[in-house]
Amino acid sequence: GSSKKAEPAPGLAWFGSSKKVEAPGDDLPETPRGPRPWKAAAVGGGSWGNTVAMLIAQNTAELKDWDDEVKMQIFDEIVLTEADMYGIRELTSGSSNGTITLPEGGFGTKLSEIINTDHENVKYLPGVKLPEHLKAEPDMEAAISDADVVVIGVPDQFIVPTCAKMKPFLKPSARLILLAKGIEFVNDKLLPVTEVVAHELGFPSAQICCLMGANIAKEVAFGQFSESTLGCRNSDDLRWLEPIVSRPFFRIGTVRNVEGPQMCGALKNVVAIGKGIIDGMGMSSNTIAALMRIGMKEMQGFIL
Amino acid sequence: GSSKKAEPAPGLAWFGSSKKVEAPGDDLPETPRGPRPWKAAAVGGGSWGNTVAMLIAQNTAELKDWDDEVKMQIFDEIVLTEADMYGIRELTSGSSNGTITLPEGGFGTKLSEIINTDHENVKYLPGVKLPEHLKAEPDMEAAISDADVVVIGVPDQFIVPTCAKMKPFLKPSARLILLAKGIEFVNDKLLPVTEVVAHELGFPSAQICCLMGANIAKEVAFGQFSESTLGCRNSDDLRWLEPIVSRPFFRIGTVRNVEGPQMCGALKNVVAIGKGIIDGMGMSSNTIAALMRIGMKEMQGFIL
DSSP B47-96: HHHHHHHHHHHHHHTT-TTB-S-EEEE----EE--HHHHHHHHHHHHH-S
The pTM (predicted TM-score) of the whole model is: 0.78
- The verdict on whether omega for the bond into residue A37 sits within 30 degrees of 0, i.e. cis, is yes
Instruction: Give the H or E element holding residue A228.
Output: strand A226-231
**How far, in Å, are A40, A57, A264, B60 from residue A213 at the CA level?**
21, 20, 8, 46
Domain-embedded: residue B24: no
Residue A5 pLDDT greater than 70, yes or no: no
Residue A75: how many other CB atoms lie within 10 Å: 14
User: Do residue B226 and residue B295 come from a single domain?
Assistant: no
Residue B287 pLDDT greater than 80, yes or no: yes
User: Do residue B273 and residue B236 come from a single domain?
Assistant: no
**How far, in Å, are A119, A143, A193, A240, B49 from residue A42 at the CA level?**
16, 8, 17, 17, 57
For residue range B241-254, list pLDDT tens digits in order: 999 999 999 999 99
For residue range A245-279, list pLDDT tens digits in order: 999 999 999 999 999 999 999 999 999 999 999 99
Instruction: Give the H or E element holding residue A254.
Output: strand A250-255
Domain-embedded: residue A16: no
User: Do residue A265 and residue A215 come from a single domain?
Assistant: no
Measured CA to CA, the distance from residue A168 to residue A145 in angstroms comes to 9
Domain end: A221, A236, A256, which one?
Answer: A256
User: Do residue B279 and residue B195 come from a single domain?
Assistant: no
> Distance from A174 to chain B by nearest Cα, in Å?
30
Measured CA to CA, the distance from residue B123 to residue B217 in angstroms comes to 13
Q: Name residue B136's beta-bridge partners.
A: B72
Measured CA to CA, the distance from residue A63 to residue B275 in angstroms comes to 34
Beta strands in B162-295 (DSSP E): 175-178, 183-186, 189-192, 208-212, 226-231, 250-255
Measured CA to CA, the distance from residue B164 to residue A57 in angstroms comes to 66
Residue type, B70: V
Report the pLDDT value the prediction gives residue B264, as an integer from 0 to 100: 92
Q: Is A5 a catalytic residue?
A: no
Closest alpha carbon within chain B to A278: B225
CATH of the domain at A194: 3.40.50.720
Report the pLDDT value the prediction gives residue A303, as an integer from 0 to 100: 86
User: Do residue A143 and residue A278 come from a single domain?
Assistant: no
Percentage above 90 pLDDT, chain B: 70
Nearest-Å Rg of the Cα atoms of chain B is 22
What does residue A251 show for φ and ψ, rounded to 5 degrees?
Answer: -80, 140
Measured CA to CA, the distance from residue B40 to residue B56 in angstroms comes to 8
User: Do residue A245 and residue A270 come from a single domain?
Assistant: no
- CB-CB under 8 Å, A225 with B290: yes
**Selected residue of A226, A254, A278, A286 to mutate for chain B interface (largest B Cβ count, 10 A):** A286
> Distance from A107 to chain B by nearest Cα, in Å?
38
Pairing of strands B183-186, B189-192: antiparallel
Measured CA to CA, the distance from residue A88 to residue A94 in angstroms comes to 10
Residue ranges making up the domain that contains A209: 40-256
Domain-embedded: residue A30: no
Residue A66: how many other CB atoms lie within 10 Å: 22
Domain-embedded: residue B4: no
Annotated ligand binding at A1? The verdict is no
Measured CA to CA, the distance from residue A74 to residue A136 in angstroms comes to 6
Domain-embedded: residue B3: no
User: Do residue A151 and residue A266 come from a single domain?
Assistant: no
Average pLDDT over residues B54-74: 97
Domain-embedded: residue A32: no
User: Do residue B161 and residue B244 come from a single domain?
Assistant: yes
Domain-embedded: residue B17: no
Measured CA to CA, the distance from residue A215 to residue A57 in angstroms comes to 19
Average pLDDT over residues A188-198: 91
Report the pLDDT value the prediction gives residue B114, as an integer from 0 to 100: 95
Q: Which residues of B touch A (CB under 8 A)?
A: 14-15, 17-18, 213-216, 219-220, 224-227, 251, 283-287, 289-290, 292-294, 296-298, 300-301, 304
For residue range A121-166, list pLDDT tens digits in order: 999 999 999 999 999 999 999 999 999 999 999 998 899 999 999 9
Overall domain count for chain B: 2
SS (H, E, C) A72-122: EECCCCEECCHHHHHHHHHHHHHCCCCCCCCCCCCCCEEHHHHHHHHCCCC
Active-site annotation holder among A129, A268, A275, A297: A268
Q: Which residues of A touch B (CB under 8 A)?
A: 14-15, 17-18, 213-216, 219-220, 224-227, 251, 283-287, 289-290, 292-294, 296-298, 300-301, 304
Count the residues in chain A: 304
User: Do residue A277 and residue A176 come from a single domain?
Assistant: no
Residue B294 pLDDT greater than 80, yes or no: yes
Q: ipTM, 2 decimals?
A: 0.77
User: Do residue B67 and residue B147 come from a single domain?
Assistant: yes
User: Do residue A189 and residue A269 come from a single domain?
Assistant: no
Report the pLDDT value the prediction gives residue B1, as an integer from 0 to 100: 35
Query: Picking from A28-37, A48-57, A128-137, B194-203, which range would have the lowest pLDDT averaged per residue?
Result: A28-37
**How far, in Å, are A178, A196, A295 from residue A185 at the CA level?**
18, 10, 22
**pLDDT tier at B15, thresholds 50, 70, 90:** very low
**Residue A255, helix vs strand vs coil:** strand
Q: How many CA atoms does the CB half-sphere of A142 hold within 13 Å? A: 9
Domain-embedded: residue A196: yes
Q: Which residues of B259-280 are buried (b: 16+ CB within 10 A; e: fewer)?
A: bbbbbbbbbbeebeebeeebee
User: Do residue A88 and residue A175 come from a single domain?
Assistant: yes
DSSP A17-56: -SS----TTTTSPPPP-PPSSB-EEEE--SHHHHHHHHHH
DSSP character for B157? G
Pairing of strands B208-212, B226-231: antiparallel
